[in-house]
Chains A and B, each alone.
Chain A
Amino acid sequence: MRARALAAALVLALAAGCATTNGDPRDPLEGFNRSMYAFNEAFDDAIGKPVATAYQSVLPDPVRTWVRNFFANIADLFIGLNNLLQAKFEDGLTDWARFTFNTTIGIVGINDVASEIGLEKHNEDFGQTFGRWGAPDGAYLVWPFFGPSTVRDTAGGLLDLYFDPVRRHDPVDARNFSIVLRATGQRADLLDASRILEEAALDKYVFQRDAYLQRRRGLIYDGNPPRESSSRRRDAPRAESAPEAPAVPPEAPQPRAEAPIIETAAAPDSPARVRVVFEPRMPANYPAVLAAERARP
């Protein structure tokens, strides 16, 4: 029953998805993604934001910090594993030391004592590990409920989900409660950010997509992404010579030293290179997506 209502909502969202596609090479499924984005927005307006706002106003600040810390502590286990998989051994051991301190002295993780003694928290997941290993982003994707992703991050996200200790917790009631509590807390922590997004963006879909892609790139390089030569444009634009080239994506990733890829030879700003870098992968649901595209007027 609930599943059917959900399916109906998804179909509606698909039908309502506006047809604006700008031919961005990073986002070949923009029509589909915009539909999913509209669905997520509607869901967030109806349930996500109200619940998160209520959560924020009902629970006092320290309690919300405990909830955040509790789930952040559990997450440190697999953050550590991913750091080890990326050969960042010191970081990985730090994460596990954090887990040990916070679980014991921090009382099942509700106090982040590790940060106070200088063991800093990291942000890692399987998508980042794949990126570190050289996997490109692939096409940008927006999933219902889960939001922005890419082909690579979807593959990583499935692994994250599979190993998620909270999801594997045994009594089903406790598990479901934990999952809802974690999601609510995470949404509440993002209330300010979504308000700023509302303020800043002209086209929220594009703004969120570009922010997501930039953010992921930064995370993969652990905050030291190579500075883009094109990141600065002054009065004398160099790309004037190619007027109808698609908007140069801000994100053209520079080939990394440890994993040289073919595009190195191309000129930094040429559209050809962009096309090579953002060669779309075919997602598993591509036939369904094409069918949805055709169904639209």
Chain B
Amino acid sequence: MSDRLAAIVAAIAMAALFAPGAALGAEEITPPDILVKNVTLEVVEIIGRDKDIQTGDRRKVVALIETKVVPHFNFTAMTAGAVGTNWGKANAEQKARLTDEFRTLMVRTYASSIAAYRNQKFDFRPLRARPTDTDVTVHVRVLQSGAEPVKIDYDMEKTARGWKVWDVRVADISLTANYRTEFANIVRESGIDGLIRTLEAKNRSGERPATTAAAEKKK
């Protein structure tokens, strides 16, 4: 832990020293597999020692995701992937709102899966990519007893601000692909604005406590 902290402090110090005037290319970017491993272990470690999160403090979980996980995601790319062919029909403002709502939905879903975490072990697979690759998939597996390991694959892209996730596949289920049909159906019925409204309503509906959410059924 302190090693990593020291490394981060050193990195920040380096960045501060060299940022003005330094060539951008010289800046060291954390490799994608290392990034995934560090972030995962850090989040797990925080869950492990935070009693509030273990007892289901939703606000704290969301705050944890916002600070530790969200910065490594490219939500515009994810939203574009989920909206699919209709993305081109949205104007800039609609795109921004779609991204914002989809981001909220993702954070909330992620929060639910953190609540489901039961001290499973992670197996970080070695990255198979060339150093020059700018689009890679980082494989992680969650090990459990009596069942085959669950794969989590992060599709990541190299940007100037580091490696960013643009799709997550859990047990080969791509999040963006899974939303594509749903979103397309809504857009066909009520347009891009309809999709924005639906997402807003969905995100607002989840703000009440989980117990009532389970009791209330739509159909």
Residues of A within 8 A of B206 (CB): 199
Contact status B185-A247, CB under 8 Å: yes
Residue B148 interfacial (CB < 8 Å):
yes
Known: A200-B105, A202-B202. A247 touches B147 (CB 8 A): no
Shortest Cβ gap from B193 to chain A (Å): 15
Quick one: which of A236-261 are within 8 Å of B by CB? 236-237, 239-240, 245, 247-251
**Residue in A45, A231, A239 whose CB lies within 8 Å of B217:** A45
A230 to B141, CA, bound (A): 25
Quick one: which of B88, B109, B184 contacts A236, CB cutoff 8 A?
B88
On whether A200 and B173 interact (CB within 8 A), knowing A65-B145, A120-B148, the answer reads no
Chain B interface residue count: which class? 35 or more
Interface string of A200-236 (1 = CB under 8 A from B): 1111001100110011011101010100100111111
Find chain A residues with CB under 8 A from B180 CB.
210, 247-248, 250
Say yes or no: B172 contacts A214, CB within 8 Å. Answer: yes
Pair A231/B172 contact, Cβ less than 8 Å: no
Interface residues on A, range: 35 or more
The answer on a CB contact under 8 Å between A218 and B213 is no
Decide: A223 and B178 in contact? CB cutoff 8 A.
no
User: Beta-carbon contacts of A104-141 to B below 8 Å, as 1s and 0s?
Assistant: 00000000100100001111000000000000000000
Residues A231 and B177 in contact in the complex (CB < 8 Å), given A115-B145, A198-B213, A206-B182: yes
Q: Report Cα–Cα, A240/B88, bound state, in Å.
A: 7
What DSSP secondary structure best describes chain B's contact surface? helix
Q: Do the beta carbons of B214 and A195 come within 8 Å of each other? A: yes
B202 to nearest A CB, angstroms?
A: 6
Which residues of A sit under 8 angstroms from B145, Cβ to Cβ?
65, 68-69, 112, 115
Closest to B172 in A: A218
A206 and B171 alpha carbons, distance in the complex (Å): 18
The stretch of B12-20, B41-49, B77-85 that contacts the partner chain: B77-85
B176 contacts across to A, CB distance below 8 A: 231
Asked if B167 is an interface residue, CB under 8 A from chain A, the answer is: yes
Chosen A-B contacts, 21 in total, with CB atoms closer than 8 Å, are A24-B181, A41-B219, A121-B148, A192-B113, A195-B115, A198-B213, A202-B199, A203-B182, A206-B182, A207-B182, A210-B181, A215-B173, A218-B171, A221-B172, A233-B83, A233-B84, A234-B77, A234-B80, A235-B87, A237-B87, A250-B177
Known contacts A206-B181, A214-B174; 15 additional CB pairs below 8 A are A38-B219, A68-B145, A72-B146, A121-B146, A122-B148, A203-B182, A203-B185, A210-B178, A214-B178, A215-B172, A225-B172, A237-B84, A248-B85, A248-B184, A250-B174
> Which residues in B have some Cβ–Cβ distance to A below 8 Å?
77, 80-81, 83-85, 87-88, 105, 108-109, 112-113, 115-116, 143, 145-149, 151, 155, 166-167, 171-174, 176-182, 184-186, 188, 198-199, 202, 206, 210, 213-214, 217, 219
